[in-house]
């Protein structure tokens, strides 16, 4: 049996430590909150679904959508 190694690439928006600390756990709609994830270097990323992006378009957090997508490298376990 041959094992296949599939490399997955993930992209998210890089935020500052201050942004991550300020917004972590804050709800941006009735049932969705911000959850920032550190990468291998401890840099915080924001991952949003298409629905999340649509929900952010017309609220005070829309500025986060202006952050370009960057490659996320997860921490090594």
Rounded Cα distance between 76 and 32, Å, is: 28
Block residue for tokens 């804050």: 26
Over residues 60-74, mean pLDDT: 97
Residue 7 near residue 13, CB atoms below 8 Å: no
Rounded Cα distance between 20 and 45, Å, is: 8
pLDDT of residue 51: 95
* Alpha-carbon distance values, 2 to 6, 28, 30, 36 (Å): 13, 45, 47, 36
pLDDT digits (tens, 9 = 90+) for 5-63: 677 889 999 999 999 999 999 999 999 999 999 999 999 999 999 999 999 998 999 99
Domain ranges of the chain: 10-72
């Amino acid at each position: 049996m041959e094992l296949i190694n599939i490399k997955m690439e993930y992209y998210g928006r890089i935020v500052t430590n201050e942004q991550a600390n300020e917004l972590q756990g804050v709800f941006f709609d009735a049932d969705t909150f911000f959850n920032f994830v550190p990468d291998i270097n401890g840099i915080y990323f924001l991952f949003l679904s298409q629905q999340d992006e649509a929900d952010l378009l017309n609220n005070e957090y829309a500025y986060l959508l202006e952050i370009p997508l960057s490659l996320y490298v997860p921490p090594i376990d």
